[in-house]
A and B are shown apart, each in its own frame.
Chain A
Amino acid sequence: MTEMQITAAPGVPQVLTSRTFDAPRELVYRAFTEPDLIVQWLGPRRYTMTIDRFDLRDGGTWRYVHADDAGNEFGFHGVFHGEASLDGIVQTFEFEGAPGHVSMDTVTFEQADGTTTVRTNSVFQSVEARDAMVDAGMASGMNEGYERLEDLLTKLVANA
Chain B
Amino acid sequence: MAVAANQLDAVFGALSDPTRRAILARLRRGEATVAELAAPFRVSQPAISRHLKVLEHAGLISRTRRATARLSHLRAEPLREATVWLAGYRAFWEESFERLDELLVSLQEQGEEQDEERGRTHPRGRRRPKGRRAP
Contacts and interface: CB of A to CB of B under 8 A. Distances in A.
Contact of A141 (B9, B19, B91, B99): B91
B86 A135 contact: no
Nearest to A40: B103
Contact of A152 (B13, B22, B23, B83): B83
A159 B104 contact: no
Counting contact residues on chain A (CB < 8 A from B), the size range is 35 or more
Given A1-B101, A152-B87, A138 B79 contact: no
A139 B104 contact: no
Interface residues of B, number: 43
Contacts of A15: 89
A34 to B, nearest CB: 10
Given A19-B97, A135-B1, 16 more contacts: A10-B9, A23-B107, A27-B108, A30-B107, A44-B96, A45-B99, A131-B1, A135-B85, A138-B92, A142-B88, A156-B83, A157-B25, A157-B79, A158-B28, A160-B18, A160-B25
Interface of A: 1, 4, 6, 8-11, 15, 17, 19, 21-23, 27-28, 30-31, 37, 40-45, 127-128, 131, 134-135, 138-142, 144-146, 148-149, 152-153, 156-160
Interface of B: 1, 5, 8-10, 12-13, 15, 18-19, 21-25, 28, 79-80, 83-97, 99-105, 107-108, 111
